[in-house]
Amino acid sequence: MKFFRMRLILALVMGITLISVASTYFEVLAHKHVLRQELVRRTAWQGKSLQLEMEKAVAGGQSAGIAAEAALRRSQNEALGLAVYDMQEGLVTEAGPAGVFGALPRGPLDKAIKQGIDSSAFGHLGNQQWLEEAIPLYVDGRMAGALVILEDARFIHAEGVLVWRQSFWRIAAFVLLIVCVTLLMVRWFLMRPMMVVTDRLKRLRMGQSADDADENLAELSLFTPLVHEVELMAESLMGARAAAETEARLRDAGEHQWTAERLAVHIRERFGSSRIFVLSNREPYMHVLQGRETVCMVPPSGLVTAIEPVLRACDGVWVAHGSGSEDALNVDEFDRLRVPPDDPRYTLRRVWLSSEEEAGYYDGFANEGLWPLCHIAHTRPIFRASDWEYYQRVNEKFAAALLEEMEGSANPIVFVQDYHFALAPRLIKAARPDARVAIFWHIPWPNPEAFGICPWQAELLDGLLGADLIGFHIPLFCNNFLSTVDRVLESRTDREHMTARRGRHTSAVRPYPVSVALEGSKPERKTPEPSREELLKEFGLRCETLIVGVDRMDYTKGIVERLMAVEKLIEEHPFYLERLTMVQIAAPSRSRIPSYVNLRRQVEEIVERINQRYQTASWKPILLIERQCSHAEVDLWYRAAALCLVTSLHDGMNLVAKEYVAARDDEDGVLVLSKFAGAATELLDALIINPYDAEGVAEAIHRGLEMDRDERRMRMQRMRQHVMDHNIYRWAASILGDLRDLRMETPEPADPGRALPASVSPSEIVHRKLAQKAGIR
Ligand code: G6P
């Protein structure tokens, strides 16, 4: 650092001195030029008056010598000497310093006598400097000789020296000032940020949290991009350290826990050169406008946590609907982009849908048809033929995009997500028999009677059976699915091996309970967390006990039933008046669909009614937060709540239950969980309730709030252990591992009737379908 400073100072001194000397040099030249011109002008003017005087004196018979002496005396202060020359350039008379006129150059005199014009020149003798001015003299109209005036010009040199002297001090002061200012700037704007960053890195290297330095970092707006990069680096450093520690701990304990890193290694080792392709409706990264700025956000979904390490490990491809308002502006000409934006490791291929397609396929068939069909929540499914058309068309469109991405990849692995793409497995497998295809159904599968009301159940089942592996959350859904296949399709199901065989293809049907990313290591709290009081203060409320519910605003979640149960609790136990508040976070969802609009209105009305009934100035029994909250925000509520309520009327798994358990690293808190959520088959230490039984739920809440600390801790410890052992990484590893291990029949050649060559554009597919329907060949 010292060396850097020395070099900087040296460079500054040399640079500034050089520039200043050059500028002074030109300044002196200009100044001298002005002084010379001024002297020439003054001497010429003086010469003119002397010329007249001399001519008059000579014409009046006076001797030129006497006249010159007299003139010199008068101009004592100005002229140094005067001389008169005759026409032969002989010196007639001189006045002034002795011997000077003899040594004069003859140039100006020559010009005056020979050409009859005034002439001047600067000359010097030793350190004597002068200006010589020669002027012709006329007597009676005829040239009679010349007058030469000598002017002292030493002051011009003296003035130049003065300017140099003054400049020297100015340059010195200037250099000093600039060096000081630069050193200060280096210190403030370079050294300080560097010290902060260095300090941060040092502390991270030593395994300490670096977040208390945030205040300093905020100051360094100029260095924000650098700081951001350092942050990212630090994060991966900390992540790698935590992963290594966890791995070491796991090895030491001989445990079988899964981490993101272990999943990545597993994928690399097991899948070798096979590439993995994921198909889902929701994309992992979405470009949207925030104010005037485009931001890239991760839609709240547990799927990204599980799938990202997999795709990162093999540089895979994720095909999904580009639903962000700015998505189309952030892809290349093939509708692709590399993600995550901060550390690109895999490809996201966006597929575009028209508003009609979205309305028919997503709002209509998927969410007004299949969603209520599979969830027994007493909301009637709506099946429209036009929605079914769109559902098929969009499945074909996504399959075509996926096949396009798969071109050139041998033995690809395809992992399709959810009820939006029941037809895709068959389409993909028909075009690429060498692909291993799995689909995971993230929602329940009802019994065959319930499923049977779907007019296109056979087509949906046939589409699904194109997959080599079909995953559900729990064994019950697998059994329901096999029973439905049995009843609807010509096929052979095998309950012992959990398979369904249709034609020459066998699909394995297995349970894989989805989960959250809880790992062994305890997360370090970055900043002190707000307390319950602080969280509620924002809403002008106070309470002694907080309970929480977190859901999408969806009729399957039993939000209305939950509110009724809380009302019942207060009725039965007025002790909770002004003491207990339930915070209900409800993220708006599928808000174009009438049943969702109605639910929202109903929830708001009930909350209003209950609050009106009991609330005081600073307390409310229910606080409804209707917006999408980040994971971090939700975690704060989870940790501040004594109890979490999950009252789904029917749910594939319900990750809120597991998220609550994962958030409670203090091993406290009670989970009240619906028996109709898949999670109830795993989280046996929750208080299991029937959401339709308001009294039962109220009693369970009461019991949970009364439970002693030891029992709470014991239950929470067991649930945490379970979630840790069965986390999201194990889920992904199990499905993909099983898919890898499946014994595949020799691939049949692609079925041209069903295959969708990747080159076929979506509009061609639709056209072909319509033509087939109309019987046109
Ligand atoms: C359920 C589905 C997911 C879906 C999520 C959010 O969990 O199984 O596939 O992504 O709800 O719903 P949305 O319609 O907003 O994607």
Give 45 Cα–ligand 1 centroid separation in angstroms: 101
Task: Check pocket membership of 418 for ligand 1, CB cut-off 6 A.
Answer: yes
Amino acid (one-letter) located at 633: E
DSSP secondary structure letter of residue 103: G
Top mutation candidate among 279, 280, 281 for ligand 1, by most atoms within 8 Å of CB: 281
The CA distance from 676 to 643, in Å, is 19
The CA distance from 246 to 459, in Å, is 46
Which residue has the least CA distance to atom 12 on ligand 1?
589
Which residues, 6 or more positions from 118, have their beta carbon under 8 angstroms from its beta carbon?
A: 44, 47, 112, 133, 134, 135, 136
Look at residue 602 in the predicted model and tell me its pLDDT.
98
Task: Check pocket membership of 551 for ligand 1, CB cut-off 6 A.
Answer: no
Task: Check pocket membership of 557 for ligand 1, CB cut-off 6 A.
Answer: no
**In Å, what is the CA distance from 100 to each residue of 97, 131, 304?**
6, 12, 101
The CA distance from 58 to 51, in Å, is 11
Ligand 1 atom, smallest distance to 442 CA: 8
Look at residue 747 in the predicted model and tell me its pLDDT.
62
Give 494 Cα–ligand 1 centroid separation in angstroms: 31
- pTM metric for this prediction: 0.71
Look at residue 221 in the predicted model and tell me its pLDDT.
59
Continuous segment of H or E residues that includes residue 687: strand 687-689
Q: Contact, 289 vs 327, CB < 8 A?
A: no
Give 169 Cα–ligand 1 centroid separation in angstroms: 77
Task: Check pocket membership of 442 for ligand 1, CB cut-off 6 A.
Answer: yes
Give 772 Cα–ligand 1 centroid separation in angstroms: 33
Tally of helices (H runs) and strands (E runs) in the chain? 25, 23
Which residue has the least CA distance to atom 4 on ligand 1?
282
Which residues, 6 or more positions from 315, have their beta carbon under 8 angstroms from its beta carbon?
A: 275, 345, 346, 347
Ligand 1 atom, smallest distance to 362 CA: 14
Give 59 Cα–ligand 1 centroid separation in angstroms: 122
Which residues, 6 or more positions from 217, have their beta carbon under 8 angstroms from its beta carbon?
A: 196, 200, 227
The CA distance from 404 to 31, in Å, is 79
Continuous segment of H or E residues that includes residue 656: helix 655-663
DSSP secondary structure letter of residue 722: H
DSSP helix, strand, coil percent of the chain (3-state; round to 5): 55, 20, 30
Give 217 Cα–ligand 1 centroid separation in angstroms: 38
Look at residue 773 in the predicted model and tell me its pLDDT.
44
Top mutation candidate among 370, 394, 440, 443 for ligand 1, by most atoms within 8 Å of CB: 443
Distance of CA 399 to the CA centre of its chain: 31
Which residues, 6 or more positions from 436, have their beta carbon under 8 angstroms from its beta carbon?
A: 411, 412, 413, 414, 468, 469, 739, 740, 742, 744
Give 93 Cα–ligand 1 centroid separation in angstroms: 118
Task: Check pocket membership of 589 for ligand 1, CB cut-off 6 A.
Answer: yes
Look at residue 210 in the predicted model and tell me its pLDDT.
56
Ligand 1 atom, smallest distance to 280 CA: 9
| Strands of 532-642, DSSP E | 545-552, 580-587, 622-625
Top mutation candidate among 280, 589, 592, 653 for ligand 1, by most atoms within 8 Å of CB: 589
Task: Check pocket membership of 590 for ligand 1, CB cut-off 6 A.
Answer: yes
The CA distance from 369 to 388, in Å, is 9
Give 653 Cα–ligand 1 centroid separation in angstroms: 12
pLDDT, mean of each 10-residue run, the chain (777 residues) = 80 87 89 88 82 76 69 63 81 74 78 86 78 85 83 86 86 85 82 76 65 56 69 74 68 70 89 93 96 90 82 93 97 97 95 98 98 97 98 98 96 97 98 97 98 98 98 98 97 96 96 91 70 94 97 97 98 98 97 98 98 98 96 95 98 97 97 98 98 98 98 98 95 96 75 49 45 42
